[in-house]
Amino acid sequence: MTKTILIIEDDELFRSMLFGLLEMEDFNVISAADGSNGLILAKQLQPDLVISDINLPYLNGLGVLNKLRNDLTTAHLPFMFLTSKSDQETRSLAMKLGANAYLTKPVHLSNLLEAINNHLKTRQLTQ
């Protein structure tokens, strides 16, 4: 069964590139350009994985993660940050809020796909 990945990314070019790459890997991909719409899509569609930037309009990625983790219907969703914020303070906060992974841009495609597949396998085992 095809896994669904939600990308929450405000950079249109990067979002489109990531969307295309993940589609080529046979994922069902949906996307949002801001945190508020990403949160709505995550709640409605219950994707197998959420990949989000931190710096987003309306609701930043940390806010999206916090809201998802505090809602029983979405608390279980694997959540991965893919962001340019590389400082240890932000990384620590993201992990405390319940992020499953924290990758920094630029990221090698092989590292991204490995992280995605690891989290999808973990989710499948826990279901």
Sole residue written with tokens 């219950």: 46
CATH 3.40.50.2300 fits 4-126, yes or no: yes
Helical spans, DSSP H, in 25-108? 35-45, 61-69, 88-97
pTM above 0.85, yes or no: yes
Tell me the one-letter amino acid at 35. G
Lowest mean pLDDT among 11-15, 48-52, 76-80, 107-111: 107-111
Dig out the tokens for 101 from the structure: 């992974």
pLDDT at 127: 57
Query: Are 67 and 39 in contact, with CB atoms under 8 Å apart?
Result: yes
pLDDT of 46-61, one tens digit each? 999 999 999 999 999 9
pLDDT at position 72 is 95
Q: How far apart (Å, rounded) are the C-alpha atoms in residues 69 and 75?
A: 4
